[in-house]
Structures are given as C-alpha cells and as structure tokens.
Chain A
Amino acid sequence: MLYDNIKKEIGKRLGDPFLDKYRALVGNVFVESLGNMLKEDDYGINEIESVDSETVTNPLLTKKTYSYSQVGLNNTKKFQLESDVFIVQDVLFGDDYSNISPEFDFVPTLKEISKDTQRRMAIEDALKPSGYEIFYIINNYSITFYSSAEIPNGKINIDMYYFKAPSNDEWSTLNDGSDGLNLETSVGLSPQLIQRAINRSVMHLSGVEQGEKE
C-alpha cells in the first residue's frame, strides 16, 4: 500500500478525503500509531519483514552486526548503539557461530544479563561467563559483550535485530520519488498491520476532534 493512499484512507474514514483538514497531522499520527503497536507487541511474527528479505529496500526491522576478535583473555567488548535503535528485537550469533550448525568444534551460547549481574560479576566468579558462554547487556546507548576466556581466538559476529522508529520524515522523503513509497513491499509491513495502524490513527484523530468539540 502506497504511503499516499494510507494517508488518504485515514482522511476518508474521517470524512476528509482530500485531507483539507488533516494533511498536517495524518502522517505523524500514523507513524505514532505504528510505533505504539510495536511497543505493545501488537503484531504477528510474520507481519514485519526483516532486512534479510531480498525485496525489502527500506526495512523497519533492520540489523547491525557487531564483529570483534576474541584474543586471549581480553574478553570484554563495548560498542555504541546505532542512533536509530527504537526497540531491540533479538541478539544472536551471525554466520558460523550458529547454535544450529556449528562450524567450529564448539557451540557458543549467548545470554542477556541484568545490570545487577553485570555489577556483581566483578567479584563473583560464578556469575562470569565460563565454558562457551558469551553474555551481553544493553544500557546507556551501548551494548557490552562479555565472553568466556575459553572461547577460541577468532572472529565473532553477533547480529542485533532492531526496529527503527517509524519516521514520517523518512517515509515522506522516500515517497517523493517517482513511484511513491509502498509500505508493503519497500518497508515490509503486512497489509493487516497497516490496516490496524490506520484504524488506530482514525480512532486517535477522531478522539482529538471530539476533544475539540467538548
């Protein structure tokens, strides 16, 4: 569905098909509704295509690969998060370090730890990673990995999948191209998800109108 058509659809349901009244509001309300749905986990597993899809050019669900070399006992690595991270969806091994088909003679495992564990790790050996464990924690705009000293030297690739915040600015810019922006094929949103976001936007905007009347 084209971004233009989505805006018009919202306008139609509000009795304003040419967006005379809501032109300035409708895009922002739509992305806000969609963002709230992501926050509330109001989406199905197959409703948002990831960056791994070959057809999606501007995915909402994207990823960043953190790649570092495990050398000796130097086993803490900290990275700044990307500035467009909205919701972290999953952190998992990329490439060969997969729990499904290990390319090496060991199977590493990745676990998220709490801030409390991170602090206590300093003096409690039992909380430190051992064997082939790698721990990570996301806080303060950064992601920190703690790997066990037993992990063989070599490159480790860890993928972080995350949602970018839906952005009216970004989509409007893309929409200005010759063909317009199709949220289904280019951003990877399912038609159902778009419809639900439209419904929310309509409810939101009609609420605003009612508020104005009162």
Chain B
Amino acid sequence: MSETTASVTSAKQKFAPTSKGSSQRGPDGSGQTGTSSSYYDGSSIPFIEFYQDIIGTLSVQPNLGIVKRELNKVIHQINDEIGLFDAMVKVTIGSETSTIDGITTQFQALSTNIDQIGRFALDWYFDSDTKSVKLPDFVSEFKQVYVDDEEWESVPYDVVKDSENSSEKIWHQTGRFVYFPVDLAGVTKTLRVRVKMMYPGVRDFAGYSILDSQIYLPHHYRILLVSGVLMNLAVIKDYKDPDIYAHYKELYATEYLALVKKKDNIQSTYENISFKYTY
C-alpha cells in the first residue's frame, strides 16, 4: 500500500469539464443519495473550472481560498438581488427502509432520533412530539405541502392541533416550523414541499477538497459570477487593476440586467398560486 490515503480517482476524472455533483441528482433534489444538503438538482459548475476563468485574467494568481471567499460573496448577492430558486423537496422518502447510502447521510441524526434514520432529507428535522418539521436555514419561503402527491391545505395553528382533525389534510407554518396533525415519522407517507431556497456557497473541509467542490448554480449565472468575482478582486490591494475592474463592471451590469429579465423564462413564477406565508 502506498502512503497516499486520499482519494484514488485520477486527476482527469476529478477535473473533467462536464463533471456534475452526483450527490445532487437525487429524485426531487432530495439530496438523499449523497452528502450535500444544497438540493440544487441542475448541472453544477466545477469550482476548478471557475477558478481557471478567474486566474487567467489576473497577472497575480490569487490562491484558492481568496477566490472562494469572493465567490461566496457574489452568490449571496445573487440570492439577495436576483432571487432564489424554486424547489420541490422530498422531505420523507415514504418507506421505512433505507439503503446504506441513505443511512450515512443521516449520520448526524443518529444521536437525536434513531427511528428517523434515512426517513428525512438531510437538514430537515422532524419532531414527533410536536409533529412538526423544522425547516433548514437555506429555505427562504415555504409554499406548498404535498403528501403522497396530494396538496394539503394551510390552516391556523389551533385547527392543526385540534385532536378531532387528526386525519385531516392540513398544515400550519409558524416561523421555521411546519406543523401537521399526524406524526410523519411514524407513517409511510411521502412528504414533498415546494419551497424557495438560497443558492448555497462553496464549502470545503477536511477530506472534501476545494478542488472537488461544485458551484450549485445554473450555468447561465457563470459570467455573472466570473465578472462579479473579478470586480471584487480588482479592488483588493494585491490584485488591483482599474482596467480589469472597468471591463468586468460593464460585463456584470449587462449580465445582471439580462438575467433579471431572463429569470422568468427559465423558472416559472407560479403567479397563479399565492404562497401562504413568507418571512
């Protein structure tokens, strides 16, 4: 055995231009087939490709961490200014059994409730006592609830909690909690919810290199990300360059306007459905 204990995949595989976050491809963007909690189920942008777009422009090569930092700023800006993405998330898988893969994604839930292993998508916590789901932090708007593909209705809290309504198809949302009349951890029902989510930033941690990271944003945001990051870098002392700043500022403004208009074509706005609660 060699001393090398890190990943054995080849560099070619790692940096293949079309590589996509396989962990993101679960049905409904449930994320249950992998370890990520971003739920973005489109084709992602490999970070290393993005990095090469950036450094090719600058005369001084910034290190990976600096590009990551600036990229995350721009992603937050996109979340705030252009908007979030709609997602239909499968919160419970419906059956009581789970694959080994599914179990490992729920490893962190082990200590809280062993019955829930593999039952709920990563970062969605169900409390059987209050019969409520706690929404993950990256969910910004909660819109609709489907149980076994049937829409349930939003009602006031006291209606959900009324013991006479225990078999009704109703729910109630307050803050980050969504209450149900039934204990979804104990029944074999599939819960799907329609939500608006934030695009996640790029993360790296021990054993998961920044070089393997994916940017979970649609590809049409790529030039906006590139120009945003270059603008940010071009005003930092080490990479200061008024020409680069001016060029990419113009590009950013153009892309921004184009994307704000185009977004409605790419994603349905569901204007016919009024959402129940926003916070």
Could you mark each residue 125-149 of chain B with 1 if its beta carbon is under 8 Å from any beta carbon of chain A, else 0? 0000000000000000000000000
Interface range for B = 20 to 34
Residues of A within 8 A of B6 (CB): 106, 150, 152-153
- Chain A residues numbered 47-96 whose CB sits less than 8 Å from any CB in chain B: 73
Identify which of B2, B3, B8, B209 contacts A130 (C-beta below 8 A).
B209
In the bound complex, do residue A126 and residue B206 qualify as a contact, i.e. CB atoms below 8 Å apart?
A: no
In the bound complex, do residue A126 and residue B5 qualify as a contact, i.e. CB atoms below 8 Å apart?
A: no
In the bound complex, do residue A102 and residue B3 qualify as a contact, i.e. CB atoms below 8 Å apart?
A: no
In the bound complex, do residue B65 and residue A104 qualify as a contact, i.e. CB atoms below 8 Å apart?
A: no
A133 within 8 Å of B (CB atoms): yes
Residues of B within 8 A of A133 (CB): 63-64
In the bound complex, do residue A111 and residue B206 qualify as a contact, i.e. CB atoms below 8 Å apart?
A: no
Q: How far is the CA of A154 from the CA of B3 in the complex (A)?
A: 6
Residues of A within 8 A of B211 (CB): 131-132, 150
| Most interface-central of A104, A149, A150, A154 (chain B CB within 10 A) | A150
Residues of A within 8 A of B61 (CB): 111
Interface of chain B: mostly helix, strand, loop or mixed: loop
In the bound complex, do residue A152 and residue B4 qualify as a contact, i.e. CB atoms below 8 Å apart?
A: yes
B9 within 8 Å of A (CB atoms): yes
Q: How far is the CA of A130 from the CA of B66 in the complex (A)?
A: 10
- Chain B residues numbered 4-19 whose CB sits less than 8 Å from any CB in chain A: 4-11, 14
In the bound complex, do residue A105 and residue B11 qualify as a contact, i.e. CB atoms below 8 Å apart?
A: yes
Residues of A within 8 A of B204 (CB): 130-131, 150
B68 within 8 Å of A (CB atoms): yes
Residues of A within 8 A of B14 (CB): 105
* Residues of A bordering B, CB below 8 Å: 73, 102, 104-107, 111, 125-133, 135, 149-150, 152-155
Excluding A105-B8, A126-B66, 19 further A-B contacts by CB distance (< 8 Å) are A102-B11, A105-B14, A125-B65, A125-B69, A127-B63, A129-B63, A129-B64, A130-B68, A130-B210, A131-B209, A132-B209, A135-B63, A149-B206, A150-B6, A150-B204, A150-B209, A153-B3, A153-B4, A155-B3
* Residues of B bordering A, CB below 8 Å: 2-11, 14, 61, 63-66, 68-69, 204, 206, 209-211
